[in-house]
Each structure stands twice: as structure tokens, then as C-alpha cells.
């Protein structure tokens, strides 16, 4: 799975421009899924058929990552930009970015009164090495992702866009393991969704179309285990986090109970998650159509929405195991 994770996190795929990620995942799952389709939003939907005794389940992991989009080119060939998703000004200065055609640029900031200060995003610009507007290789409305290679620092993985390529990798690996066993009670739709970072838009249309009984999002969550961190009862390496509540949804209590008992039966370490800021595709899935029983299994992640998001290898493996247990057995809500 490490090779897949590296390929996924290093690939280019800001919200609305997920083509590369869709291609990588499609190649990976082509031999495991019973049916694969791509909807008009760009969601990649892989169906693993059940034996007819279970429910219909949507498992969602988002393919997109945060990034930037150019808004204006100066006479000297510098670019102004807006954010795609939750990009913080603290993460910008000195950052390297890449456009879909491979053009690379660096972000810097206007002069500051003190180096302790911080300008807002609007006072930053991109330098792509151009000397004039005419010679600038990038136009207005071009999207870029950050550039940062994958590293394994002893069982902990760091890279850009762990949010949520790590969820995609968990989805791919779970589908592979379920198809190797051969049977599941449930019709499982693995949805690799688009545009989560700009408001869970892909999952919304997919859930409206699929009309499932159960929805499970796979995404990262914050941890509370770093110096002077915000209080949060999630630690890196302590197992997948079963979401109870975040700022966009309250998980279905029966589904949460079911997730916990599967973890306990199989001695899979887990933790309970209450996230006070942020949400996931589960929010959209829960309230699509007439609604469904929705929840989320989160992979603990430090430094979310920076270019060095960190996850623990054991958490990743345990998330796969927990998801496979849930999906391979009857779900009683
Ligand atoms: Co995110
Ligand atoms: Zn995410």
C-alpha cells in the first residue's frame, strides 16, 4: 500500500481538477470492482455487489486537495491568487506550487513592518520566473497544488494531501481485500469524490443518485497530542477514530455502536472522535435525498491543511481492518 500512498499524495489534484487521481485509482481498482462509473461531477464510483442479504452502503473518500487559483497577472509577470479550500496564510510563504502542465512557482509575500507579522492571502503572490505579463506561462483561472514529496519517517508518513489521499488509499485497499474474500452481504459503492474541500459537493450529488441505506466517509481528523494543541481526545497512532460529532454532522448512533462493537470483537484499537472544527463528506451523504444512517471513520492526522500532513502507518492499517470488518458483516442499526 505504501507505493499507492506515495503515488496518490504526490499527484496533482486540487478541487475540480481531480483527473490524475481518478486515473490512478481507476487503474488500481479496475480488476476488483463489479462495476465502475464516473458521474458528470467527476466522482469515481466502484460497486462491489453483495449477496442480496444486506444493505446498500456508500463509502466515500475525497480525491481533491486544497490548492490555489490564479486571479490576476501583474505587468511584471507575477500572479495573484485565491484559495481553493482551507489554505491558511501561515502556510504560504516560500511554498512551491505546481500547475497542471507542470509549471512550477514559488509564493512570497509583500513587505512587512515586522517579521513577526503575517499578511493575509491577498498580499501574497506567485513567481513563476516570468519577466513580464506577456511572457507569463500561466493564465488567469489556472489551478495549482502545493508540492511536497512523500516521506516515511519510521512508521509515520508525511506529505501534502494526506487529506484525503490516505482515505482514498484505505478505500482502494478495503475494496481489494473484500473482493479477495469474495462475498459481502452489502452492495457497496466506493465513491472517490470530487470537490470535498470546497463544500463536500461531489459526495452530495453521488449520495443523491445512489440513495443508500448507510453512508461512511473516510477522512482525516485532527489530533490533540502535540505541544499546546487544542484539546482533543485523538492521538496519532492510537487507532482509527470513530466520529461521533463534528461541526457539520452528528453520526447515526446505531452505526457508531456497530463500528465500536466490530472494533472490540476483533481487538482493533480505536478512539472516539468529536471534532469541533471541520466536517467531511459524511455530512452531505447523511442529508442527501430522504437521508441515511451516516458516520465517518477518521484517520488521525497532524498538521492538517499544511504541506506536511502526518499519519501513522498502524492507524492506516487498522482503519482498513475496521472498515473491512464492518462491510463484511451484517450491519444492525
Ligand atoms: Co481537508
Ligand atoms: Zn479531507
Which ligand sits nearest to residue 299's alpha carbon? 2
Mean pLDDT along residues 180-205: 96
Which letter does DSSP use for residue 150 in this model? -
pLDDT at 255: 98
Instruction: Tell me how far the alpha carbon of residue 223 lies from the centroid of ligand 1, in angstroms.
Output: 14
Q: Do 2-65+160-328 and 67-146 fold alike per CATH?
A: no
Architecture of domain 67-146: Beta Barrel (2.40)
Which ligand sits nearest to residue 305's alpha carbon? 1
Q: Which of 117, 106, 113, 45 is nearest to 81 (CA)?
A: 106
Q: Where are the domains of the chain?
A: 2-65+160-328, 67-146
Q: How far from each other are the two terminal CA atoms of the chain, in whole angstroms?
A: 31
Instruction: Tell me how far the alpha carbon of residue 276 lies from the centroid of ligand 1, in angstroms.
Output: 14
Instruction: Tell me how far the alpha carbon of residue 282 lies from the centroid of ligand 2, in angstroms.
Output: 11
Which ligand sits nearest to residue 197's alpha carbon? 1
Instruction: Tell me how far the alpha carbon of residue 154 lies from the centroid of ligand 2, in angstroms.
Output: 24
What residues are neighbours of ligand 2 (ion), with CB under 5 Å?
A: 163-164, 219
By annotation, the residues acting in catalysis are 196
Q: How confident is the model at residue 324 (pLDDT cuts 50, 70, 90)?
A: very high
Reported as a single tens digit per residue, the pLDDT across 203-250 is 999 999 999 999 999 999 999 999 999 999 999 999 999 999 999 999
Q: Write down the residue that cell numbers 461541526 correspond to.
A: 247
Answer whether residue 182 shows pLDDT above 90: no
pTM greater than the 0.75 cutoff: yes
Mean pLDDT along residues 65-71: 98
Protein fold of 2-65+160-328: Aminopeptidase (3.40.630)
User: Which H, E and C letters describe 22-68, residue by residue?
Assistant: HHHHHHHHCCCCCEEEECCCCCEEEEECCCCCCCEEEEEEECCECEE
Q: How far is CA 236 from CA 221, 226, 245, in A?
A: 10, 9, 19
Instruction: Tell me how far the alpha carbon of residue 198 lies from the centroid of ligand 1, in angstroms.
Output: 9
Query: How far is C-alpha 19 from the geometric centre of its chain's CA atoms?
Result: 15
Contacts 24+ apart (CB under 8 A), 102-105: 103/128, 103/137, 103/138, 104/128, 104/147, 105/79, 105/129, 105/138, 105/144
In the chain the beta strands, taken as DSSP E runs, fall at 35-38, 44-48, 56-62, 67-73, 78-84, 96-99, 104-109, 124-127, 143-146, 151-152, 156-159, 187-193, 214-221, 241-245, 271-274, 293-300, 309-312
CA-based torsion, 10, 15, 20, 26: positive or negative: positive
Amino acid at each position: 500500500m505504501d507505493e499507492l500512498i506515495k503515488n496518490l499524495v504526490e499527484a496533482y489534484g486540487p478541487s475540480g481538477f481531480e483527473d490524475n487521481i481518478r486515473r490512478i485509482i481507476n487503474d488500481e481498482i479496475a480488476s476488483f470492482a463489479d462495476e465502475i462509473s464516473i458521474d458528470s461531477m467527476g466522482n469515481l464510483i466502484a460497486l462491489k455487489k453483495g449477496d442480496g442479504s444486506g444493505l446498500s452502503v456508500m463509502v466515500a473518500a475525497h480525491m481533491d486537495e486544497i490548492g490555489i487559483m490564479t486571479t490576476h497577472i501583474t505587468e511584471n509577470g507575477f500572479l495573484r491568487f485565491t484559495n481553493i479550500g482551507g489554505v491558511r496564510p501561515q502556510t504560504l510563504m516560500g511554498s512551491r506550487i505546481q500547475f497542471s502542465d507542470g509549471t512550477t512557482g514559488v509564493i512570497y509575500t509583500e513587505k512587512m513592518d515586522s517579521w513577526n507579522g503575517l499578511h493575509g492571502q491577498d498580499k501574497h503572490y506567485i513567481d513563476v520566473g516570468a519577466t513580464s505579463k506577456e511572457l507569463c506561462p500561466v493564465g488567469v483561472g489556472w489551478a495549482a497544488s502545493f508540492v511536497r514529496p512523500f516521506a516515511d519517517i519510521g512508521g509515520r508518513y508525511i506529505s501534502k494531501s494526506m487529506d484525503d489521499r490516505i482515505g482514498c488509499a484505505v478505500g482502494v485497499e478495503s475494496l481489494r481485500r473484500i473482493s479477495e474474500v469474495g462475498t459481502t452481504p452489502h452492495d457497496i459503492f466506493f465513491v472517490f469524490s470530487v470537490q470535498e474541500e470546497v463544500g463536500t459537493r461531489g459526495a452530495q450529488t453521488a449520495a443523491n443518485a445512489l440513495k443508500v441505506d448507510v453512508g461512511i466517509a473516510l477522512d482525516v481528523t485532527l489530533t490533540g497530542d502535540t505541544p499546546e494543541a487544542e484539546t482533543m481526545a485523538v492521538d496519532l497512532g492510537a487507532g482509527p477514530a470513530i466520529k461521533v460529532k463534528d461541526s457539520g454532522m452528528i453520526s447515526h448512533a446505531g452505526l457508531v455502536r456497530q463500528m465500536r462493537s466490530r472494533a472490540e470483537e476483533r481487538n482493533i484499537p480505536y478512539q472516539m472522535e468529536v471534532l469541533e472544527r471541520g466536517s467531511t463528506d459524511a455530512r452531505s451523504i447523511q442529508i442527501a435525498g430522504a437521508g441515511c444512517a451516516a458516520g465517518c471513520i477518521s484517520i488521525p492526522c497532524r498538521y492538517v491543511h499544511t504541506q506536511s500532513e502526518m499519519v501513522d502507518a498502524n492507524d492506516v492499517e487498522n482503519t482498513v481492518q475496521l472498515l473491512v470488518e464492518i462491510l463484511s458483516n451484517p450491519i444492525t442499526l
